A and B are shown apart, each in its own frame.
Chain A
Amino acid sequence: MTATRYLYAITEGFGPAPGASGLRGAPLAGIEEGGLVMVTSPHVDLRAEADEEDLWSHEAVVESLFDTGEGAILPMRFGTTLPGEAAVRAALRDRAPEWRAALDRVRGAIELGVRAQIDVDAAPEQSPSVRRTEAAGPGTAYMLDRLGQGRLAAEVARSIHAPLSELARESAHVIRNQPTTMMKAAYLVEEVVVPDFQREVERLEASLPDAAITCTGPWPPYSFSGSERA
């Protein structure tokens, strides 16, 4: 019987260290086809639950490949499988162009995550639009205040994302305004630029009193590899 292959990442030609193991202690095996290697572990009757320990195990395998510096990798999402070695080889052959392009896209860069919480409750009474319309009634004041707050918060979020995206090869972000304004973003950053990025986050945190910002990483390029389930 062919074992299911749990997938960790695609690399450009290198495999896991000998004797290394992955999820539930299963041995890692690289399956090579046309210069691309799919790093896998074989399992019979695997039920991969999204469990904190298993997630970090998966991440440890991906990072062990990422950290070698031997080349670019495309990290797989947790729980990605193929029904056996033959299926892996077929996928590597069929999707080689797509995956090679994705490797080009991420080579030499790491992913950083940024979260920001923005609170501009500061003195809505000072908003000029509110003062102007005091005569118009409390309902109007309320709506204009909400409008002003929303705009201000969105401005702050943009003033965080803009300089950071300048330092990145690529970026993706979402800004949400309800119930509070929060920004979440991912940046694909050249390795040599990472210290500058770190400093910019610290500078923004210090200079924007309304914002609490945190950056996590380095992560393998999950958000930019375009790798869907195999």
Chain B
Amino acid sequence: MTTTSLERSRAAREVSLLDLVDRLLDGGVVIHGDITLAVADVDLVYVGLRALVASVETMKREVGMPRLGSAL
């Protein structure tokens, strides 16, 4: 896919604004802390994982409707 020059200049302005916001609002490239999950045992990871799968499956059943409306 080729980008038009309009898209390129829009991207250039967007990335410039992003970098400006990083500096003016956050003070620069901040090292965001890595969130680590202190899990002692693989079984806890496994159990948590199964719970996630189950909850996603539940959501699928309960949210068995067409795309949710995009009301603000």
A–B proximity contact (CB within 8 A): yes
Which residues of A182-230 have CB atoms within 8 Å of chain B's CB atoms? Answer: 184-186, 214, 216, 219, 222-224, 228
Interface size classification for chain B:
10 to 19
A186 to B30, CA, bound (A): 9
**Contact among A55, A216, A228 with B24 in the assembled complex (CB-CB below 8 Å):** A55
| Nearest chain A residue, comparing its CB with the CB of B28 | A223
Contacts of B17 on A, CB cut-off 8 Å?
A: 52, 55
A-B residue pair count with CB separations less than 8 angstroms = 56
A70 to B30, CA, bound (A): 29
For the residues of B in contact with A, the DSSP-based class is helix
**Contact among A113, A115, A174, A216 with B32 in the assembled complex (CB-CB below 8 Å):** A174
The answer to whether the Cβ of A5 comes within 8 Å of any Cβ in the partner chain is no
Sample of 17 further A-B pairs with CB below 8 A, known A50-B25, A113-B23, A216-B19: A50-B21, A52-B17, A55-B17, A55-B21, A56-B20, A77-B25, A111-B28, A115-B15, A172-B28, A172-B29, A173-B29, A174-B30, A185-B29, A216-B15, A219-B19, A222-B24, A224-B28
- Tell me the A residues contacting B by CB distance below 8 Å: 50, 52, 55-56, 58-59, 75, 77-78, 111, 113, 115, 172-174, 184-186, 214, 216, 219, 222-224, 228
With A78-B25, A172-B28, A224-B28 as contacts: A55 and B20 at CB distance below 8 Å: yes
The answer to whether the Cβ of B66 comes within 8 Å of any Cβ in the partner chain is no
A172 touches B31 (CB 8 A): yes
Query: A115 to nearest B CB, angstroms?
Result: 7
A218 to B19, CA, bound (A): 11
| Nearest chain A residue, comparing its CB with the CB of B16 | A216
Query: A224 to nearest B CB, angstroms?
Result: 7
The answer to whether the Cβ of B22 comes within 8 Å of any Cβ in the partner chain is yes
The answer to whether the Cβ of B27 comes within 8 Å of any Cβ in the partner chain is yes
- List 16 interface pairs A-B (beta carbons < 8 Å), by A numbering: A50-B21, A50-B24, A52-B17, A55-B20, A56-B20, A77-B24, A113-B19, A174-B29, A184-B22, A184-B29, A185-B29, A186-B28, A186-B29, A214-B15, A216-B16, A222-B27
